[in-house]
Amino acid sequence: MVRQAEKDEFASFVAASQARMVRLALLLTGDRSRAEDLAQDGYAKAYASWDRIRGGDPGAYVRRCIVNANTDWWRRRTWREQPRPLVPDQPGRGDMAGDMAARDMVLRALARLTRRERTVLALRFYLDLTEFQIAHELGIAPGTVKSTVARGLSKLRADAELRAEATS
Amino acid sequence: MTPLPADRTCPVDLDFAEPHPAQLDLDVIVRRGKTIRRRRRIAGAGAALVACAAAASIVVGVRGASFRWFPPSPPARPAPAIPAKPIDAQVAGNPPVTGKLTLLSSFPPRWTTVAWATRRGDVCWASYRTPMNGATEDYDCPWSGADVPGPGRQGLSIPLVSPFTGSGDLPGQAGSERVPAFGLVSSRATRVTLTFFGKSFSAAVVPVPLGKGQTVGVYLVWLRVPASASGFGSSDFSGATAYDAAGRIVARHGPWS
């Protein structure tokens, strides 16, 4: 009974938070299936530690798992790929074409940033964390967060595709 | 969200519409979660042997003593029929660069906390109880090589506060909760003082080998969370100072707000 109650509580937590967690992972990776893998891993680790974290902030725990796992993945790569369009440039047909095109353009622009710039911008502008919270979460200096945010924003503003879209 | 000046707003909308809503497989998540739990328990059981190795250091009160976990390099001969136990999954996945773990703390009683630098350059810590009594170990590898204090880098990392699994073993819990905070500091430092909820807490710095004769200072400071606090986190630190053996300030951070 206790285990079932625990599972139900965990299921509610997943249902309520998965959209944001998968989106965070998507912003970090630019790849939907990898984003779902990262989120799934984060939730599995959260389930393994559920007794310990349920009374605190399990969302922060999963978020940190996602960010760390993405960092680990980058560290462990033995090769470096060049940023490339993550999806075809041509939007598909249908009612969702506009949404898809906007989404793909954002992901392509993020793919042109460094991993740390993407992470910091996602935490700052998607999850609305403060620069101090991001610094604590990533274990880096607040000044580093600030300069990374500034550099990332500057790159996005100078991004040719985004500029072209804004003027079209 | 904190209001931002116009030039610090994000030029793209990260909350864009998603044509395909996320639908993760809960059964797969729970199955994997159970597997992780099982692995941690097995690893925790094996950690008893490490605790035995650490016991000698605890008896003589030596902090920072190290004990061998893995050989520095793989042995040329075949592994023995009965492999050395235990192999903590986390340590096995992040092998110490020197083959040794460094004792960071033996508080509270029956708990041991160790730290080590990995072959990849990360710095990790792990806490475990002996005997387990149902507790699982805590561990994390929160720092990469770029976070290690050194020339041109910060001399003191931001403390990372971690909930403690074995809170039932902590003495003097009445009225306030004790939690550990971990961090890196220049190897010149011998002591660190953290200001948490306005109060100062100190601990010695333990040198942890990075390989090639280099070390990094790692600290574990036991903090007290005021009973009136509804929660705690890294944002509750207002400062951190590292001192060398002569009492001179080696590095200082904060106040953070």
The pLDDT tens digits of the residues spanning A98-151 come to 777 888 888 988 888 877 888 999 999 999 999 888 887 777 777 778 888 888
User: Residue A48 is nearest to which of B12, B37, B253, comparing CB atoms?
Assistant: B37
Which tens digit of pLDDT belongs to each residue from A5-64? 888 899 999 999 999 999 999 999 888 888 898 899 899 989 988 888 888 889 988 998
Examine the pLDDT at B52 and tell me if it is beyond 50: no
DSSP string of B162-200, one letter each residue:
---TTGGG-S--TTEEEEEEEEEE-TT--EEEEEETTEE
Residue from A47, A74, A154 whose CB has the most chain B CBs within 10 Å, to mutate: A47
Dihedral of the alpha carbons of B163, B155, B118, B61, in degrees to the nearest 10: -70
- Cα gap A72→A62, rounded to integer Å: 15
DSSP B76: S
User: Residue B16 is nearest to which of A11, A71, A106, comparing CB atoms?
Assistant: A106
For residue B242, the one-letter residue type is A
DSSP A122: I
pLDDT for B87: 34
Contact yes or no for B109/B169 (Cβ under 8 A): yes
The separation between the first and the last C-alpha atoms of chain A, rounded to the nearest angstrom, is 60
DSSP string of B1-70, one letter each residue:
-----GGGS-SS-TT---SS-----HHHHHHHHHHHHHHHHHHHHHHHHHHHHHHHHHHTT-TT-EEESS
pLDDT for B73: 38
Residues of A in contact with B235 (CB under 8 A): 132-133, 136
- Cα gap A35→A104, rounded to integer Å: 15
Q: At what angle do helices A58-76 and A32-48 cross, to 10 degrees?
A: 130
Dihedral of the alpha carbons of A46, A47, A53, A58, in degrees to the nearest 10: 50
Taking an 8 Å cut-off on Cβ atoms, the answer to whether B14 and A122 are in contact is yes
A18 touches chain B (CB under 8 A): yes
ipTM over 0.85: no
DSSP string of A3-22, one letter each residue:
HHHHHHHHHHHHHHHHHHHH
Q: In chain A, positions 54-113, which contact chain B (CB-CB < 8 Å)? A: 56-57, 68, 71, 75, 96, 99-100, 102-103, 105-106, 109-110
Supply angle C-alpha A20, A22, A26, rounded to 5: 115
Tokens of A12: 């509610």
A150 touches chain B (CB under 8 A): yes
